[in-house]
């Protein structure tokens, strides 16, 4: 990577907020050595981090979502990807840190308009009350200066998420690899979801996809859909689909 230019350096009660730029990529960081979000300046809507790409596998099971919820805005990369890939989609993103919201808007080319609502709130508290309307897909990516928010693994949080998802909707949960196949988490998910799948991204993240109803498509059908959705997103999904396994 080229020399990193520091564009923004501030802090709030939760820790530092820094934005770096090397002329090709822009990075949001919450700690030394941390890379919370990354965009390619020429194509900010095309996801760069592997775990965020993997989370969009939900689009294979819910191909035309009308409403998407995102818990944890960061640099707004998931928001941008969904906004550009799916015409007329309505997106609500929830972010704890007001300065992160402002940084996303100022430095990360986050789209704005009638189809997008960004809420300044604690996502774990927000999801208790929920969205104005249930969502087709709910993405959870809650991390702070110290790492993953531990409350994401709690039974109450998973149950609250499930209540905000439509009967045929899906949840994407970004976890650390250390949580892989965690029996408590799996048991909690099974209580609210009928179809649970997961993959190791190979970069330290374990991504879980959970559907309210069982999806019966075979591998050939999923591969065909992945090729179509890949064109919408701007990156190949089959790489991640090949790693996806079902948790029985």
pLDDT digits (tens, 9 = 90+) for 35-91: 999 999 999 999 999 999 999 999 999 989 999 999 999 999 999 999 999 999 999
What is each CA distance from 3 to 16, 21, 43, 204, in whole angstroms?
21, 8, 20, 25
Q: Tens digit of pLDDT for each residue in 197-210?
A: 999 999 899 999 99
Which residue is it, tokens 């899906």? Answer: 170
- Say yes or no to pLDDT of 1 above 50: no
pTM of the model: 0.95
Angle (deg, nearest 10), helices 219-233 and 77-85: 100
């Amino acid at each position: 990577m080229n020399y990193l230019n520091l564009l923004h350096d501030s802090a709030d009660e939760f820790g530092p907020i820094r934005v770096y730029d090397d002329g090709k990529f822009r990075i949001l960081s919450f700690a030394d050595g941390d890379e919370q979000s990354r965009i390619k300046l020429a194509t900010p809507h095309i996801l760069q981090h592997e775990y965020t790409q993997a989370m969009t596998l939900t689009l294979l099971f819910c191909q035309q979502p009308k409403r998407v919820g995102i818990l944890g805005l960061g640099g707004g990369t998931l928001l941008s990807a969904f906004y550009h890939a799916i015409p007329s989609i309505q997106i609500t993103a929830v972010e704890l840190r007001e300065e992160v919201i402002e940084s996303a808007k100022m430095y990360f080319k986050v789209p704005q308009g009638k189809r997008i609502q960004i809420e300044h709130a604690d996502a774990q508290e927000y999801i208790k009350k929920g969205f104005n309307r249930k969502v087709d897909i709910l993405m959870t990516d809650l991390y702070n200066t110290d790492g993953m928010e531990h409350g994401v693994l709690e039974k109450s949080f998973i149950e609250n998420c499930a209540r905000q998802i439509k009967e045929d909707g899906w949840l994407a949960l970004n976890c650390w690899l250390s949580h892989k196949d965690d029996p408590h988490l799996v048991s909690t998910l099974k209580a609210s979801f009928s179809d649970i799948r997961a993959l190791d991204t190979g970069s330290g993240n374990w991504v879980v996809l959970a559907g309210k109803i069982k999806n019966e498509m075979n591998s050939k059908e999923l591969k065909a859909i992945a090729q179509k959705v890949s064109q919408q997103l701007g990156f190949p999904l089959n790489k991640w689909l090949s790693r996806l396994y079902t948790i029985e």
